[in-house]
Amino acid sequence: MKPQDFPDDIRTHLIPEPTGEMIYRCLECGAEYGITELLYTCPKCRGLFLLEDKNEARLKERPGVFWRRLFDHRKMLNLPALKGIFLFYELIAPVIPLADIIYLGEGHTPQVAANDELAGEVGAAFYFKNDGQNPSASFKDRGMAAALSYLNFLVRQPGAGRLLAICASTGDTSASAALYAAYLGDKVASAVLLPHGKVTPQQLAQPLGSGARVLEIPGVFDDCMKVVESLADNYQVALLNSKNSWRIRGQESYAYEIAQWFDYDLAKKAVLVPIGNAGNITAIMQGFLRFQDLGIIDTLPRIVGVQSRHADPVFRYYLEPDPAKRVFVPVTVTPSVAQAAMIGNPVSMPRVIRLVNEYHCRAGAGSVAVVQVSEQEIMDSMLLANRCGHIACTQGGESLAGFRAALKAGLIPEDEVAVLDATAHHLKFIGFQQMYFEDAFPPEFEVTPKPEYQNRPQLLTPKTGDPEQKTADLAGQIAALLNLTPKKG
Ligand SMILES: *Cc1c(COP(=O)(O)O)cnc(C)c1O
Ligand SMILES: [Zn+2]
């Protein structure tokens, strides 16, 4: 729709100007820093940052109904910069001029309802919100769109020069970072650090195809993270891990979209999210809290984080019911099919603790929970979902396994409608399906295939060497196999 065709009260706000005043605020000591520096943790105390808009009070001058109308109308505007996560421009990064925003088709991913068969099997109605339908096939694109738009803005500042963007990854962060950096061409080079042999062939192929420098080191993700942190401390590099608070801002859009999908009524809704580094769950909680601050939603949805038994430090932390006695202890991970969430020492843990407290204060003690699931449950749930028309990855399977566990434990009442985060596309983690079908899981995964979920191709060979009769022979074999009824007459 053309700008002149929007209602008068909307038109003047439709295309936003950068009116924010953003700074980095240290979560630990409260110090503030300018955003033109390449900083990821507090130089004084090494605390994590949150991005803060010192001018955010101006947004509160308008009622929730204004923002709802604005965001709903903006969906009809054909301006690429505002087509993705920046539809919610005022809440994401209102300092970046629209000309610097990169849009590669991220965000506004579909929310697909479970069919009767699947809902029946699980025992409640729910949706998958398919973040695998982002350009690099995972939710990481939401955060990268924000982080790389900000870098694009930064490199245009006087004296900025060319930047090297670097990240450690369980696979999807690097695929996404490399894609967005590639779009920026010569202005931003990218290098990614991967744990050797711990990402899927698809995830390795992605940054290679985008032309990034791909460096592999022995160990797991946590080892890569330490190296990248050392680089960020000592050299001029832009760090694209989830310590990067611009990414968290971008990932808040997942929460905004769920709110918009339900016409801003989030009563009796629950959102289930797999937890790895805990960037995503903190972004989603923060998104809902900020929407409530602005009166855009009244009710906060329930949040349930999900972890595999093979990588469950956040679950363990919340096992202790007394907040005063909780101590965070990193765990050593063991192989998990939810490989993108296989993290023993989540960098965003301080953000989790803070946001869960805030959520509990506002929405009550049961409003955030963390559940634990087995590798078997993750695989079985993923396969079940996909046999019912979904495209969930193993982490999406983890969300479903968590939903079933939460229902069983009575953490989610049966009349609540759940939205499950399918964080990546099924095809990125296809090797795990293959292992299940071929019963080829190494013992440490602890997965035994259920025959009813297994599937394999069946090779047919013609019983005749005569090329004239080959087609008829194969058709005959197939008709017999599938029990086809011959046509009459
Ligand atoms: C990164 C990732 C996760 C974990 O998200 P965190 O923000 O690290 O908690 C889960 N699933 C997929 C597919 C991912 O790429
Ligand atoms: Zn500090």
**C-alpha 29 – ligand 2 centre gap (Å):** 4
Statement to judge: residues 211 and 306 lie in one domain: no
Instruction: Find the ligand nearest to 241 CA.
Output: 1
pLDDT of residue 401: 98
Window from 4-13, 167-176, 362-371, 446-455 with minimum mean pLDDT = 167-176
Look at residue 469 and tell me if it is in a domain.
no
Whether residues 205 and 277 fall in one domain = no
Q: Are 387 and 421 in a shared domain? A: yes
| Ligand 2 centroid to residue 28 C-alpha, Å | 5
pLDDT in tens, 46-62: 999 999 999 999 999 99
Q: How far is the CA of 168 from the centre of ligand 1 (A)?
A: 13
When mean pLDDT is compared across 227-236, 397-406, 427-436, the lowest value belongs to: 227-236
Residue 202 lies in a domain: yes
**Quick one: what percent of the chain has pLDDT higher than 70?**
100
Using the predicted structure, report yes or no on whether residue 161 has a pLDDT greater than 80: no
221 with 364, same domain: the answer is no
**Nearest ligand, CA of residue 248?**
1
Give the pLDDT score at 236: 83
Both 325 and 300 in one domain: the answer is: yes
pLDDT of residue 156: 84
| pLDDT for 169 | 85
pTM of the model: 0.96
Confidence band for 14, pLDDT divided at 50, 70 and 90: very high
Return the pLDDT at 489: 78
In the chain, % of residues over pLDDT 90:
87
Assess if residue 100 is contained within a domain. Answer: no
Examine the domain organization and report whether 223 and 316 are in the same domain.
no
User: Is 18 contained in some domain?
Assistant: no
Q: Confidence class of residue 447 from pLDDT cuts 50, 70 and 90? A: very high
Give residue 470 CA to ligand 1 midpoint distance, Å: 50
Same domain, 131 and 144: no
Hey, which of 48, 129, 134, 138 would you mutate to test ligand 1's pocket, going by the most ligand atoms within 8 Å of its Cβ?
138
Burial class (CB in 10 A: 0-12, 13-18, 19+), 98: middle
Q: Classify residue 5: in a domain, yes or no.
A: no
Q: Are residues 178 and 227 in the same domain?
A: yes
More confident residue, 325 or 243: 325
Residue nearest to atom 14 of ligand 1 (CA): 340
Task: Tell me what the mean pLDDT of segment 25-52 comes to.
Answer: 92
Which atom of ligand 1 lies at the shortest distance from residue 278's CA?
A: 9
Domain identity same for 122 and 152: no
Mean pLDDT of the chain: 95
Q: Examine the domain organization and report whether 308 and 413 are in the same domain.
A: yes
Q: Which of 177, 207, 242 is the last residue of a domain?
A: 242
Report the nearest-CA residue for atom 5 of ligand 1.
276
| Residue 1 lies inside a defined structural domain of this protein | no
Domain of residue 405: give its range. 111-135+252-451
Which of 129-138, 231-240, 279-288, 372-381 is predicted least confidently? 231-240
Boundary-marking domain end, from 175, 209, 242: 242
Does 412 reside within a domain? yes
Position 187 pLDDT exceeds 90: no
278 Cα–ligand 1 center, Å: 8
Residue finishing a domain among 192, 221, 242: 242
The set of protein residues with a Cβ atom below 6 angstroms from ligand 1 is: 138, 140, 172, 242, 274-281, 340-341, 393, 395, 423-424
pLDDT at 391 over 80: yes
Based on the fold, state whether residues 126 and 274 are members of the same structural domain. yes
Alpha-carbon Rg for the chain in angstroms: 24
* Cα 255 to middle of ligand 2, angstroms: 28
Q: What is the pLDDT of residue 104?
A: 98
Give the pair of three-digit tokens for residue 224. 């890569």
pLDDT at 337 over 90: yes
Protein residue with its CA nearest to atom 4 in ligand 1: 276
Residue 461 Ramachandran class (φ > 0 left, ψ -120 to 50 alpha, else beta)? beta
pLDDT at 26: 95
Q: For the segment 248-270, what is each residue's pLDDT rounded down to a tens digit?
A: 999 999 999 999 999 999 999 99
Q: Max Cα separation, the chain?
A: 87
Query: Which residue is it, tokens 């009459």?
Result: 488
- What pLDDT, on a 0 to 100 scale, did the predictor assign at position 28? 93
The predicted pLDDT at position 158 comes to 79
**Cβ(63)–Cβ(38) under 8 Å?**
no
Cα(254) to ligand 1 centroid in Å equals 13
Confidence of residue 163 (pLDDT cuts 50, 70, 90): confident
Query: Within a domain: residue 31?
Result: no
Among all bound ligands, the one having the nearest atom to the CA of 41 is: 2
Residues 181 and 311 in one domain: no
| Residue to mutate, 109, 134, 136, 139, ligand 1, most ligand atoms under 8 Å from C-beta | 139
The structural domain count of the chain equals 2
**pLDDT band at residue 199, thresholds of 50, 70 and 90?**
confident
Probe target for ligand 1 pocket from 134, 170, 203, 303, with the most ligand atoms within 8 Å of CB:
170
Contact 355, 450 (CB under 8 A): no
The CATH number of the domain holding residue 152 is 3.40.50.1100
Mean pLDDT (whole number) for 353-370: 96
Ligand 1 atom at minimum distance from 242 CA = 7
d(CA 187, CA 257): 31
> Over 80: is that where the pLDDT of 450 sits?
yes
Amino acid at residue number 487:
K
pLDDT at 402 over 90: yes
